[in-house]
Amino acid sequence: MILTDYIKTEKAEGKKYRYEVTATTESHDYLAGLFLNKRNPNKGGESFNLVPRPKTFKGTDFSDMAITKGSQNITSVYVPDIGQTIAFGDIKGTNDAVIVQFNSDTESGITTIELFIARGQKHNKRNLYFLFVDSEFNDEVEYLRNKAVAKKCNRRT
């Protein structure tokens, strides 16, 4: 399997950028540590922010958005095809690539985000994106979704 870990999030009610983890394979300890809420709301739960690309980001390959926690960047989010609800990035501080899938209902904005991690595949992230778009990972995606454990969170915070 190329896709090794899975995290599903839902938008926190009344919040502009915050997404609460609602299911995970509980297998990526590094991200679990980064996403951990150390204070209220939802102390002990996990969350992150999906924000427009900060102006302070350097580099020539400009991303569209970023997944952050506090002031820490976790991954830039690249959306190569606006007709798709799929994006990609790599997890800062690791060699891991991430495929980001948004909900397909664009009328209500982004309400659900799924992260599919491919450990050690940082340098193959674009190719993984194209394989994902071409449905090459459907079996792995279904396996990871079924393996995920529901997380209790308070999305109204």
User: Quick check: is 93 in a domain?
Assistant: yes
User: Quick check: is 104 in a domain?
Assistant: yes
Using 50, 70 and 90 to split pLDDT, how confident is the model at 155?
A: very low
**How many structural domains are present in the chain?**
1
User: Quick check: is 156 in a domain?
Assistant: no
User: Quick check: is 75 in a domain?
Assistant: yes
Residues 6+ apart with CB under 8 A from 84: 133
pLDDT (0 to 100) of residue 52: 87
Asked if residue 70 lies in contact with residue 89, where contact means CB atoms within 8 angstroms, the answer is: no
pLDDT in tens, 21-68: 999 999 999 998 999 888 777 788 899 999 987 666 555 566 779 999
User: Quick check: is 155 in a domain?
Assistant: no
Composition of the chain by helix, strand, coil, percent to 5:
20, 35, 45
Residue 3, helix vs strand vs coil: coil
Question: 102 is in which domain, residue-wise?
Answer: 5-54+61-150
pLDDT (0 to 100) of residue 95: 97
User: Quick check: is 41 in a domain?
Assistant: yes
How far apart are alpha carbons 32 and 37 in whole angstroms?
10
Residue 86, helix vs strand vs coil: strand
As given in the structure block, the two tokens for residue 147 are 């393996």
Using 50, 70 and 90 to split pLDDT, how confident is the model at 71?
A: confident
User: Quick check: is 121 in a domain?
Assistant: yes
User: Quick check: is 157 in a domain?
Assistant: no
Residues 6+ apart with CB under 8 A from 145: 6, 8, 23
pLDDT (0 to 100) of residue 49: 94
